[in-house]
Amino acid sequence: MKNKKAKENIAQNRIQELYAISTSGEDMNYRRDAIILMENIAKRMDISLKKNIKRNYCKNCKRPYGDRSRIRLKKNCVIVTCLECGDIRRFRFRP
């Protein structure tokens, strides 16, 4: 039986592969399934997804941001609106 570090390493590699699939130009349903599977693996292994991965898709409809999103800057905040479901996310940044 593998130790916990080895299992986490395998899970991280699988998450990176699924992230690459979700950012490719494939069918939207295929990309959405990859995001759902990526979240399930992270949840099962009790691993938090990296910021650059978490901020690239809508948490509500599980679709990657891209052509179907609106990005606005206000003071110290990036506001991302998903045009598919209307969900709004705010990310703070420091100038």
The pLDDT value given to residue 2: 65
Sheet holding 88-92, edge to edge: 69-74, 77-82, 88-92
86-93: long-range contacts, CB 8 A cutoff, minimum separation 24: 87/58, 87/59, 87/60, 87/61, 89/55, 89/58, 89/59, 91/55
- pLDDT at position 82, please? 93
pLDDT greater than 70 at residue 89: yes
Q: By percentage, how much of the chain surpasses pLDDT 70?
A: 97
More confident residue, 93 or 9: 9
pLDDT tens-digit map of 18-54: 999 888 877 888 899 999 999 999 999 999 999 999 9
